[in-house]
Chains A and B, each alone.
Chain A
Amino acid sequence: MTVVHHLDDSTLMRFASGNVDEAFSVAIAAHLELCGQCRAALRAAESCGGRLLELTDVADIEDDAFDRLRDHIEGSEINLVQLKPSDARPARHADASETSIPKPLQCYVGLSLDDVTWTTVAPGVLKRDITLSTKTTNKLYMLHIAAGKQMPEHGHGGSELTLVLSGAYKDHHGRFARGDIADLDEHDEHQPRVDGDQPCICLIAAEGHTKPKGLVARLLRPIVGI
């Protein structure tokens, strides 16, 4: 698997600085699990935060802050997290199989794409809404779109991330397969068509509502819910 479509640099900086809600953090982290290049890029962005932390004006902290911390650590059973030698602990392999679900998404939908339960929202289009544990106005959901299907052309109410987990789709930005992410802003309009003979399964984090163009698409919107 070679990832071709990556996160926008401004999205990486946003994630590095922690300015993301649960919906976007899950989609971004799921892409990062599948993309070593973006993980390396994230480290660079985080180093920016490290340097700003070094340079910031310091705030006075309470006199007994360190003593309290030491008492707390010594007084409680705090387990040290240790890395075991690398021969005993093989590095966790991202993308173990083509149907595995990236870890950031597993607690919501399970370990394998085969286990996901779907609701039919239109012919050939299945949807899985994901319930988030923290308050946000953004949405996170998965779509399972049959081979040969075309989604209605739509713009977005805000930024939207689409991560392909299985199969592939094509639009005017190119071909998107497992691991690829489309990082679109509110000005972008696209009309994805499933490519190849397999269904395409995607994870989508969306800000606000998407805005389908055209009457048919607008009529479809309440049904498909995109």
Chain B
Amino acid sequence: MVSARQQATPSCPKSADLAKHHAELMVKVAQHQDWVAFQELFLFFGPRVKAMMLKAGADNALAEDVVQETMTKVWRKAGLYVANRGSVSAWVYTVARNTRIDRVRRASSQAYDDIDDLDLESDEPTGEDQAHLSQQATSIAAAVQELPKEQREVIELAFMHDLPQSEIAEKLSLPLGTVKSRLRLAYGKLKVRLEDYK
């Protein structure tokens, strides 16, 4: 096994540059089925999606499978990614999350798909969209990194480890209400940051 760390881009790159670069790669994949661009996206997201599945309790084989399935969807749906809806990372997260719901939790992600095509505008991304995306990525990155440790811990357990709020409460020996309020506080900070750039 080759360490993915040696292949992939640094683990904490500057968010604005990363967001812009990923958006450009997605355009190449969507418009030209560009395998070089897709491989770069794969080398960045594959190891991260796998880490996310292992944290959610998948074994190695299932985690590898989910990476294959997620990245197949990224290839197939690249034309649906639009920069004005957010960063490529956020979009890949939703594709991986839905695959996790179907494959790891054995539940159904159909409801997510049903509303996925609302608000989609298919116009070519404009310079304005790109600039907006970079600013937004910077502000979200800052918001997540500035979260107090206890809020960061709760969102990490929810988004990456796939723990329900009741299990987060149990794990951290907290009342359920405290877990909910930490999620609300974390979301509030994110929202304030995003509104700065509207």
Contact = CB atoms under 8 A, between A and B. Distances in A.
B159 to A, nearest CB: 4
Interface in B72-119: 72, 75-80, 82, 85-94, 96-98, 100-101, 105-112, 114-115, 117-119
Interface of B is mostly: helix
Interface in A6-25: 8-10, 12-14, 16-22, 25
Contacts of A29: 111-112, 114-115
Interface of A: 8-10, 12-14, 16-22, 25-26, 28-30, 32-33, 36, 39, 41, 43-63, 65-66, 68-70, 72-73, 78-86, 89, 91-92, 94, 103-104, 107, 133-136, 185
B5 interface: yes
Given A14-B183, A19-B165, A86-B123, A46 B118 contact: no
Nearest to B1: A60
A103 B112 CA distance: 10
Contacts of A60: 1-5, 47
Given A10-B183, A50-B91, A56 B52 contact: yes
Contact of A17 (B97, B106, B122, B188): B97
B140 A134 contact: no
B41 to A, nearest CB: 10
B72 A25 contact: no
B170 to A, nearest CB: 14
A48 B118 contact: no
B190 A45 contact: yes
Given A52-B93, A134-B107, 6 more contacts: A9-B183, A14-B164, A39-B119, A60-B3, A62-B64, A63-B2
B125 to A, nearest CB: 12
B79 A46 contact: no
Nearest to A70: B35
Contact of B155 (A36, A48, A54): A48
Contacts of B82: 83
A58 to B, nearest CB: 4
A65 B106 CA distance: 24
Contacts of B54: 59
A25 B163 contact: no
A53 B155 CA distance: 12
Contact of B107 (A21, A56, A58): A21
A85 B68 CA distance: 29
Contact of A58 (B11, B120, B190): B11
Given A48-B140, A50-B86, A69-B68, A133 B108 contact: yes
Nearest to B185: A9
Nearest to A106: B114
8 contacts: A32-B118, A39-B118, A54-B141, A59-B50, A60-B4, A66-B39, A69-B71, A80-B78
Contacts of A68: 68
Nearest to B140: A47
Interface in B46-78: 46-52, 54-55, 63-64, 67-68, 71-72, 75-78
